[in-house]
Amino acid sequence: MGLIQNVLAVIVVLGLLITFHEFGHFWVARRCGVKVLRFSVGFGTPLWSRRDRHGTEFAVAAIPLGGYVKMLDEREGPVDPAERHLAFNNKTVWQRIAVVSAGPLANFLLAIVAYWALFVAGTTTVAPVVGSVAPDSPASQGGLTPGQEITAVQGAAVRSWEEINLKLVSAIGESGALEVAARDDTTATSRTYRLPVEDWLVRQDPPQPLATLGVTPWRPEIPAVLGQVVEGEAAAEAGLRAGDEVVAVSGEPVADWMAFVDRVRESPGETLEVAVRRDGERRTLSLTPRRRPQETGEAIGYIGAGAEPVAWPEEYRREIRYGPLAAVGESLSRTGEMTVLTLGAIRKMVVGLISPSNLSGPITIARIAGDSARSGFESFVSFLAYLSISLGVLNLLPIPVLDGGHLLYYFVEVVRGRPVSEQAQAVGLRIGLALVGTLMLMALYFDLMRLW
């Protein structure tokens, strides 16, 4: 069932992103007087198609990993002299720039609309309150203490752990100190703390900013009571049921749910004697956690069970909501922030500050799309917006075969006053194909390594 949900989620996500991207090209091409021959979502044999009154074929193809808008162009085949004025190659350089840039811009517009909808609908998060601080960690050395609420990172206001993580990740590679503002629950005034760092998160795979700082978020105490048990997994096979309260593992008392999780994670393949209280009676079951490989090469224990939900205290809940007009500014700001973060990540990956193993391909996208869909509307829309921004940024990179490569040629044409030669474009095409193909193979390789 999880695999089916992942596949459906990634089809929906990629379908929306591709359709918006290609519609951007299509819409502007029509306004610039270019004849569009085909608008295809997907590659390969069309599963469905129809033509409109302008002669454009709209198609949905079998391979949903891309799409294209085919325009009338003398470089791709003979053109009727009566239609030469409709050919893309005969348009002005500024019209060609507009058509090519419209695809990535459509992806940014989709992200803005998605964030706007989230801000208007409102999102609920939890206050970023520090639960514990590891001894001798940067947070401890900087003076942060448990119970404080973090209000800003590097001078930018934050309202959730998600925003904090984004700010911390954007600072990868910095040395010196990270500025973190926090306040005690007894005062409304924040104080700035300087947390010492050296080559912050450089080549850490994957980046773990909070753990590296030595900060553990506060969470309410969760009793060791099972809320759900997945059929076919270790917990179900051992006879555990929803509602069971775990009281001891191999003779050691269990204080709360996290203590039970820690014991399971550190015992892959090891048989544990789990004492539970069920219907007022105590009974002991044999539980053998299955091995789950991690990206670090180590394995952790996994049993396929979740805790019974616990409500967060109202004073720790934060609702973020804006009116329709205010949400426009916030959505533009969030899109700009995520765009800068994406560009920064690409730059840092090129110079070696971020490991290339952070590249993700279709398998990881499918998994995250499925997880976000199961987590609810807010998570799914946030993932859709970020992926749309990533697609827009990547397509604007000055690499031949991408939109950015074509834009590079056209801007050179603006400066030189004449088009880039076909020979130079052919060489660039081969280089671009090799580069993009290499990146795709690397992303697929790291996808498979995550699965193993």
SS3 helix, strand, coil % of the chain, rounded to 5? 50, 25, 30
| Listed residue (149, 143, 135) closest to 217, CA to CA | 149
- Kindly write down the DSSP assignment for every residue of 128-187, as one continuous string: -BEEEE-TTSHHHHHT--TTPEEEEETTEE--SHHHHHHHHHHTTT--EEEEEEEE-TT-
Catalytic residue (one of 22, 76, 231, 422):
22
Alpha-carbon distance 323 to 110, whole Å? 19
How far CA 394 is from CA of 104, 169, 381, in Å, comes to 9, 19, 20
Please list, in sequence order, all residues whose beta carbon lies within 8 angstroms of the beta carbon of residue 421, skipping any fewer than 6 positions away: none
245 noted as active-site residue: no
Which residue's structure tokens are 């799309």? Answer: 369
Place of tokens 């759900």: 228
Q: Annotate 219-260 with three-state secondary structure.
A: CCCCCCEEEEECCCCHHHHHCCCCCCEEEEECCEECCCHHHH
Task: Tell me how far apart the alpha carbons of residues 13 and 365 are, in angstroms, rounded to a whole number.
Answer: 9
Which of 452, 140, 58, 152 shows the shortest CA–CA distance to 291? 452
Cβ-proximal residues to 364 (8 Å cutoff; 6+ apart), any chain: 443, 446, 447, 450
Instruction: Name the maximum alpha-carbon separation found in the chain.
Output: 89
- The answer to whether the beta carbons of residues 390 and 13 sit under 8 Å apart is no
Total length of the chain: 452
**Catalytic annotation, residues:** 22
